[in-house]
């Protein structure tokens, strides 16, 4: 029956598979920000026709990964710092709301799950596994959103976090950031378990802001610093 499940999952439309492939190409940098998605080239590379490629591109447009211009095609979206800041603010509100909700309605099982994730992240920090920590970090936030019980909020959070993830991976290069972030996770979890909704909301929002700060620091390191400051005119610098 495992084969049945496999066959069932394999039976998704070509567009979906193409969409996943395109996400991978964007992720890996093979399609850098600003690049145009040439329909015939991509179709040939992926061994499909232009139709599925077009549908996948339009789907990616709705998720915000690309923008399409009439008669000119789809371009990999370049997120400005301003847009990233706005997404952080949005995520802050959503994550804070979810934490507050969870503080008054957290089950024992959920608490154990969250504790386990935090423990695991600590181990991965100690073991020098930044990729593992990164994955655990995502799980922690997504679990809290999922446990909050509002599917609409969760979907919005996931959508926007994915956009940020396109560039955020580098934010945790320094091990100090990871320990700092996980300490915040632990404090937030304590507040939730204590049932203090107001404190949990505040800590969740603060944690998101800290993540934003870590992200900006990483950007500054990467780009050499001065640019972030000088480009403040429009903050149009792509990341």
Partner DNA sequence: GCCGCCCGGATTGTAGACATTTTTTCCCCG
Partner DNA sequence: CGGGGAAAAAATGTCTACAATCCGGGCGGC
Residues forming the site for DNA (CB under 7 A): 11, 13-15, 36-41, 47-52, 54-55, 68, 70-74
For a second copy, which residue of 17, 36, 58, 187 counts as binding (CB under 8 A)?
58
Please check whether residue 139 is in contact with residue 179, taking contact to mean a CB–CB distance below 8 angstroms: no
Decide if residue 11 touches a second copy (CB under 8 A). yes
What are the CA-CA distances from residue 13 to residues 19, 26, 134 (Å)? 10, 20, 31
Contacts of 101 (CB under 8 A, 6+ apart): 148, 149, 150, 197
Nearest CB to a second copy, comparing residues 30 and 40: 40
Nearest CB to DNA, comparing residues 1 and 70: 70
For a second copy, which residue of 89, 142, 173, 196 counts as binding (CB under 8 A)?
89
Nearest residue to 160 (alpha-carbon basis) of 86, 73, 229, 216: 86
For a second copy, which residue of 21, 46, 93, 105 counts as binding (CB under 8 A)?
93
Tell me the two tokens of residue 139.
Answer: 């799980």
Interaction residues for a second copy, span 159-178 (CB under 8 A): 160
**How far is residue 149's CA from residue 122's CA, in Å, rounded to a whole number?**
27
Which entry of a second copy, DNA, none binds 97, CB below 5 to 8 A by partner kind? Answer: a second copy
Which entry of DNA, a second copy, none binds 216, CB below 5 to 8 A by partner kind? Answer: none
């Amino acid at each position: 029956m495992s084969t049945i499940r496999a066959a069932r999952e394999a039976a998704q439309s070509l567009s979906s598979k193409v969409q996943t492939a395109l996400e991978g190409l964007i992720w890996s940098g093979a399609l850098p920000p600003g690049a145009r998605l040439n329909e015939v080239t991509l179709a040939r590379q992926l061994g499909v026709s232009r139709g599925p490629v077009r549908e996948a591109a339009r789907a990616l447009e709705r998720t915000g990964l690309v923008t399409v211009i009439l008669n000119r095609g789809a371009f990999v979206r370049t997120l400005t710092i301003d847009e990233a800041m706005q997404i952080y603010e949005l995520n802050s509100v959503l994550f804070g709301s979810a934490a507050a909700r969870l503080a008054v309605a957290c089950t024992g099982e959920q608490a154990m799950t969250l504790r386990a994730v935090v423990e695991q992240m600590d181990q991965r920090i100690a073991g020098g596994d930044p990729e593992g920590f990164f994955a655990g970090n995502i799980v922690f936030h997504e679990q809290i959103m999922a446990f909050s019980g509002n599917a609409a909020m969760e979907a919005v959070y996931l959508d926007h976090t994915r956009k940020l993830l396109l560039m955020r991976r580098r934010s945790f290069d320094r091990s100090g950031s990871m320990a700092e972030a996980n300490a915040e996770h632990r404090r937030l979890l304590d507040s939730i378990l204590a049932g203090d909704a107001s404190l949990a909301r505040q800590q969740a929002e603060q944690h998101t802001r800290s993540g934003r700060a870590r992200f900006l620091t990483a950007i500054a390191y990467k780009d050499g610093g001065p640019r972030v400051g000088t480009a403040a005119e429009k903050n149009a610098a792509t990341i």
